Structure 1
Amino acid sequence: MAFTKQLPEWHALGVEPPQSLKEGGWKAGVKPPADYFNWLQNKAFKAIEELQLKAGEVKTINGQSPDEKGNITINVDTSNFATKEELKAKYSKPANGIPKSDFAGEVQTSLSKADGSAKQTDLEALDKKVSEHQADEMKHLTNGLLKINNGSTNFLLKMDAEGLYLEEV
């Protein structure tokens, strides 16, 4: 999907303000030179211009083109997802509990507090969510973000300078 907002062009280079002003900010009664504002507006223009040039557009994913709204449907192979029985086998509590000798004192204390909170209903709820997710394999890519719906909540998979993360929407 193309950018629709006109880029706010500002070609006057201006003069970079001193570091002390950048750190301390404007003080009451100060009338800053126009060159400082020109510098700031030019830097903002160049940064936005770079983002628009480098962001690009998704043309296809796995050979599929976006629809008129820019969405791309992706089919997800769920054949390698764990079954309910596999989850129960891997994540069930040992019959006699976790031996204290297996953990440091602080860990054992934390586990003792949490011991009663994991219930069979938790696994059943997880299984239900996985089943709902498997039934809804349709995903959408809009404005460069992967939208994920797990049946009750929408998330966006985003990427920024710090990495990838999910954001609830």
Structure 2
Amino acid sequence: MLPSVAQPPLIFLDVDGVLIPFRGRPTTRGRPSTGGEVNAEAPDGWGNPLLDRLDLDDGRRLLALGCQLVWATTWMAEANEIIAPRLGLPALPVVEWPDSGEEPEHGLHWKTVFLTRWAAGRPFVWLDDEITDADRRWVAANHPGQALLHRVDPFAGLTDAAFAAVHQWLGQGNDGA
């Protein structure tokens, strides 16, 4: 079991490839409807046809994990304006990416070091479609807390299997998946 902590584990959420898969999902679950048309009264981006790929159940399922959700996406604050309301999520903290232009270590994703620093030792889950074994090794060697770096299939987005992996990690405190 994860040790009891004053603050719950963080879940760093990417959008493209995770909440918005590169391929449309089956229509058996809740879907938003943009109709591909821009609504002048809706926040920017609500007419984006790719938003039809969001699964409305993802918001409820993410909240049910009992973790602190954090946007870790290049959508940045727009994730709160466009994605969060569609999924029934409150406004979430947003990781502000540095403009340093600093190249990551060979093989590391450009988010890895920054997210680890942002977590500041807290246990975290990172859901992204670009995570590699190099990222997992780096976090294991450089993060004092527990971490699950779960690579999401960018063509499928979040799946039951991804949620099961997070549930298992939260219940057992296992590293990596």
TM-score interval (norm. to shorter): under 0.3
Structure with more helix by fraction: 1
Larger relative contact order (CA 8 Å, sep ≥ 6): 2
Kindly name which structure, 1 or 2, has the bigger radius of gyration based on alpha carbons: 1
Tell me the TM-score normalized by structure 1: 0.21
